[in-house]
Structure 1
Amino acid sequence: MKQAEASNWQTYGRLLKYVKPFWLAFSLAVVGNVIYAAASTGMAAAMEFVIQAIENPTPENRMLITGLIVGVFAFRGVGTFMSQYFIAYVGRHVVNALRKQLFDRLLTLPSRYFDNHASGRLVSKLTFNVEQVADATTNAVTIILREGLTIVGLLGFMVYTNWKLTLIFVALGPLIALVVSYASKRFRKISRRIQSSMGDVTHVSSESITGYRVVRTFGGEDYERKRFGKVADRTMRQGLKMASTQAIATPVVQVFVALALAALVWVMLAPEIRGGMTTGELVAFITAAATMAKPIRQVTSVHAKIQKGVAAAHDVFGTMDEEPEQDTGRYSPDRVRGAINFDNVSFRYQDTLDDVLHQISLEIPAGQSVALVGRSGSGKSTLVSLLPRFYEYQQGEIRLDDHPITDFSLTALRAQIALVTQNVVLFNDTIGANIAYGSLRERSRDEIVEAARKAHAMEFIERMPDGLDTMVGDNGVMLSGGQRQRLAIARALLKDAPVLILDEATSALDTESERYIQEALETVMKGRTTLVIAHRLSTIEQADRILVMESGRIVEDGNHQQLLDAGGAYAQLHQMQFSEG
């Protein structure tokens, strides 16, 4: 338990390090809180003068009191503005820095991380969890500083006025601390559950929204309604538990403060304790004690915000501390020839699972087109995923131009590879921006048009209202499957990389489009090493070489005619597709 507490303090300490660059704004916020606390203490102390003015209402006293009241409130107003604005300034900058760092880390995490974490939950970290951290670094710090300093100021005034009475008032302090300690632990536990359930809410809603066509076609509305209702209800229940804990803790603290006040008044009436205090001093003392009730309540209730923030920070820092992709390579050539060697390569997705690839040895000369065929799950996509190092293999070595791919920097390695997959990813941007994406942004308009023309995409682009400047919608929702596929091929053509990976690249095309694309691909495949994964064997008959995969092994290797003549697995696959056709 003590270790967990230390961990929470370490986490909060790490969070507060983000405040350091904004020390000036933070200092101004502290000054504002000091002004506020001084004004609050001054209001209690002013009661002595108010009583004196009531007992002796001279014109001078009347002027003094009215000026004092306006002055104290104006002074406190300045303090309130400074504390709230400057701490909010610090808080928003901290959140902005955290959000950017978290997003930067997500961009460098290995594929395995995304395999194990739902995208909705990761989005929730960037949105909901980081906002919880904001509360811990803004509102919580404001309240602790402002109300904490007010308590110190009021206590100082009370000790100065009558230290014996002050001791009676603070005697119930340990009981208040116990209540706060219990509430804090409960807040922290519930906060973690709330973050988890908010991640579920984001995850379920994003799945339902993204897959709305499948939901409606297959009558999944009721199922999705129940699924969302379940996670929403769970979030609500956790929120109510948090609210009930806060609602119970606050009045309990107030009751203890009231007990302290009652004891104070009862004892105050004893002449030996009261001593030579005037009526004005007595009223000022009671006012200070009563005024302290609000800041004590605020300071105790702020624990909910801090615990939410600490729980969220644990989660955010947990992701930020994940190991990024290994990028220790320094080799960074401008352009490779494209010779690829797999030397006894084995791979498994997790240590607890069996190998997906078994001792693959394969030599592909530069410029050769190689097709990978086989049943689903035979390891084709996994094999090509190792080349750009989306996954790290456990055994063997992969070389590009006789250099181990681990010697390349990730940027340099991936610059040599163009990729077109079955699941085309398009961004909610223009057609031109989707073709010239990322490092291709600097390409000229003419180059983009030429790449689109080679991919037979210009024929539909020219019919669009704004041509290349037409927005494609979320993941290209405005385009057909074939159109989206042709944009992905245009993107690969524009990159002009020496190694090309086509993972079911023509699967979404109709027969006419496929014919055009086949011609374009034959042009682009000349002079570059191409790995083609294809389900339809008719699309890869012209490949220099065809590899047949089965259960993570290469079982046949040859060209189309050689494999047909061999009468093995490829011939069987070809016969099945031919008879289906």
Structure 2
Amino acid sequence: MFGGLLISWQHKNITVGDFTLVGMLTFSALMYVWWCAFQFGQCVREIGKIQNALSELLEGHDILDAPNAPPLVIKTPEIVLDRITFGYDAERPLFQRLSLRIKAGEKIGLVGFSGAGKTTFIQLLLRFYDLQAGSIYIDGQNIAEVTQGSLRQSIAMIPQESMLFHRSLMENIRYGKLTATDEEVIEASKRAECHEFISALPQHYHTLVGERGIKLSGGQRQRIAIARAILKKAPILILDEATAALDSVTEENIQHSLKHIMQDATAIVIAHRLSTLANMDRILVFSQGKIIEDGSMQALLDKKGHFTELWQKQKNGFIPG
């Protein structure tokens, strides 16, 4: 088309103005065609994403409740691991016939290098995976024989990377206890040292936090997660580097709040900063799926074993992952 137009202009069948006008119209038409093609490509990509999401949503869960499983009812939050065996690869088990008893109300610290089994230990306690052998009991009840909902409702967890929803701060904190009143949410946020920064925001507790809490700093997101746990008041509390993203002053203040809610709970704390475990009743040192040391911090330091090695490396500026 454009070639024919050019020949016509050369033979002086059209004016320069006609040539320019038709050229501009042709260019505009091509731009619209390109835009439509781009939008069609975007639409196809979005349809692909929807198909992938639907396939994941419709996929059956690997971990199912036992038929007619009762809810977990905890009066005494004691945890017992009875000769458990587990591995992500069944041919290479991480835990082999591991047994452990955590008394009700005990405060337990978990330490060890990356891959030692600390996170897997927590995931098994939450029943994200089923065991290959053995059993885990909470208050004498096998967690594989109770409903998963009641199990996880009985455990409050503060992860290293807190997950927030694109909702208001009030709704994000209330996720810890959906029936909580506004007053209970505000009280929990005060104890988690986040009421002050929330009050400074233009919309206060009605401020939207963005996807995954992108509008908040790492420390602020962590304090929201701590407020959730405080609000939940679960009999078992798990902390995975819960104060790692906080400054020293805020961490010290929050440690007081955590100490208060840990008083009536069985607490399990994963920490790479070993000094935060000073008040634990026991510290379990993991290595390649085995608990190689078990005792108070002072007892482990006096033993001059693996924990002492970790302690010395941390004092020298190297913090194991």
TM-score class, shorter: 0.7 to 0.9
* Equivalent residue number for residue 484 of structure 1: 221
CA shift, 1:351, in A, is 3.2
Structure 1 gap segments, 5+ residues each: 1-122, 130-198, 203-314
- The answer to whether the aligner puts 1:400 opposite 2:138 as a matched pair is yes
In 1, distance between residues paired with 2:61 and 2:202? Answer: 46
In 1, distance between residues paired with 2:286 and 2:47? Answer: 40
CA shift, 1:513, in A, is 1.7
Moved more, 509-518 or 538-547: 509-518
* Equivalent residue number for residue 246 of structure 2: 509
Question: Secondary structure in 2 aligned to 1:372?
Answer: strand
Segments of 4+ moved more than 6 angstroms: 123-126
In 1, distance between residues paired with 2:302 and 2:309? Answer: 11
In 2, distance between residues paired with 1:405 and 1:518? Answer: 30
* Equivalent residue number for residue 295 of structure 2: 558
Question: Secondary structure in 2 aligned to 1:326?
Answer: coil
Q: Contact 2:63/2:129 (CA < 8 Å) preserved in 1?
A: no
In 2, distance between residues paired with 1:335 and 1:452? Answer: 26
Question: Secondary structure in 1 aligned to 2:70?
Answer: coil
* Equivalent residue number for residue 300 of structure 1: none
In 1, distance between residues paired with 2:115 and 2:169? Answer: 34
The C-alpha deviation readout for 1:107-158, integer Å capped at 9, x for no partner, is: xxxxxxxxxxxxxxxx96672x3xxxxxxxxxxxxxxxxxxxxxxxxxxxxx
* Equivalent residue number for residue 40 of structure 2: none
- The answer to whether the aligner puts 1:537 opposite 2:274 as a matched pair is yes
* Equivalent residue number for residue 158 of structure 2: 420
The C-alpha deviation readout for 1:47-103, integer Å capped at 9, x for no partner, is: xxxxxxxxxxxxxxxxxxxxxxxxxxxxxxxxxxxxxxxxxxxxxxxxxxxxxxxxx
One of 367, 371, 377 as aligned partner of 2:115:
377
CA shift, 1:574, in A, is 0.9
In 1, distance between residues paired with 2:182 and 2:84? Answer: 42
In 2, distance between residues paired with 1:340 and 1:579? Answer: 35
Question: Secondary structure in 2 aligned to 1:580?
Answer: coil
In 1, distance between residues paired with 2:144 and 2:219? Answer: 36
In 2, distance between residues paired with 1:325 and 1:492? Answer: 25
In 2, distance between residues paired with 1:336 and 1:395? Answer: 26
CA shift, 1:514, in A, is 1.4
Question: Secondary structure in 1 aligned to 2:82?
Answer: strand
Q: Contact 1:359/1:553 (CA < 8 Å) preserved in 2?
A: no
Structure 2 gap segments, 5+ residues each: 1-45
- The answer to whether the aligner puts 1:344 opposite 2:113 as a matched pair is no
CA shift, 1:343, in A, is 1.1
- The answer to whether the aligner puts 1:409 opposite 2:147 as a matched pair is yes
TM-score, normalisation: structure 2: 0.80
Moved more, 483-492 or 570-579: 570-579
- The answer to whether the aligner puts 1:327 opposite 2:61 as a matched pair is no
From the superposition, tell whether residues 484 and 363 of structure 1 become closer, same or farther in structure 2 (CA, over 3 Å). Answer: same
- What code does the residue aligned with 2:273 have? R
- The answer to whether the aligner puts 1:430 opposite 2:168 as a matched pair is yes
Alignment identity in percent?
40
- The answer to whether the aligner puts 1:567 opposite 2:267 as a matched pair is no
CA shift, 1:324, in A, is 4.6
The C-alpha deviation readout for 1:255-299, integer Å capped at 9, x for no partner, is: xxxxxxxxxxxxxxxxxxxxxxxxxxxxxxxxxxxxxxxxxxxxx
In 2, distance between residues paired with 1:504 and 1:124? Answer: 39
* Equivalent residue number for residue 453 of structure 1: 190
Indicate the structure (1 or 2) with the bigger Cα radius of gyration: 1
Matched ranges for 1:252-263 at <5 A: none
In 2, distance between residues paired with 1:320 and 1:365? Answer: 40
Matched ranges for 1:166-177 at <5 A: none
CA shift, 1:553, in A, is 0.5
In 2, distance between residues paired with 1:400 and 1:452? Answer: 29
In 2, distance between residues paired with 1:437 and 1:484? Answer: 14
- What code does the residue aligned with 2:288 have? S
Question: Secondary structure in 1 aligned to 2:286?
Answer: strand
Count residues with an aligned counterpart: 272
* Equivalent residue number for residue 310 of structure 1: none
CA shift, 1:333, in A, is 4.4
From the superposition, tell whether residues 395 and 334 of structure 1 become closer, same or farther in structure 2 (CA, over 3 Å). Answer: closer
CA shift, 1:337, in A, is 2.0
Matched ranges for 1:102-121 at <5 A: none
CA shift, 1:404, in A, is 0.8
* Equivalent residue number for residue 466 of structure 1: 203
CA shift, 1:495, in A, is 0.6
CA shift, 1:423, in A, is 1.2
In 1, distance between residues paired with 2:271 and 2:146? Answer: 28
Matched ranges for 1:187-202 at <5 A: none
* Equivalent residue number for residue 128 of structure 2: 390
Higher-helix-fraction structure: 1
| Larger RCO, structure (CA 8 Å, separation 6 or more) | 2
CA shift, 1:575, in A, is 1.2
In 2, distance between residues paired with 1:495 and 1:451? Answer: 9
CA shift, 1:481, in A, is 0.7
In 2, distance between residues paired with 1:125 and 1:343? Answer: 45
CA shift, 1:319, in A, is 6.6
In 2, distance between residues paired with 1:530 and 1:551? Answer: 23
Matched ranges for 1:23-422 at <5 A: 127=50, 129=51, 316=55, 320=58, 322-328=60-66, 330-351=69-90, 354-422=92-160
CA shift, 1:579, in A, is 2.3
In 2, distance between residues paired with 1:125 and 1:425? Answer: 26
In 2, distance between residues paired with 1:392 and 1:364? Answer: 20
The C-alpha deviation readout for 1:26-62, integer Å capped at 9, x for no partner, is: xxxxxxxxxxxxxxxxxxxxxxxxxxxxxxxxxxxxx
Higher-strand-fraction structure: 2
In 1, distance between residues paired with 2:143 and 2:97? Answer: 17
Q: Contact 1:435/1:490 (CA < 8 Å) preserved in 2?
A: yes
Question: Secondary structure in 1 aligned to 2:85?
Answer: strand
Question: Secondary structure in 1 aligned to 2:161?
Answer: coil
The C-alpha deviation readout for 1:374-418, integer Å capped at 9, x for no partner, is: 111101010011111111111111000111111211111111101
- What code does the residue aligned with 1:427 have? F
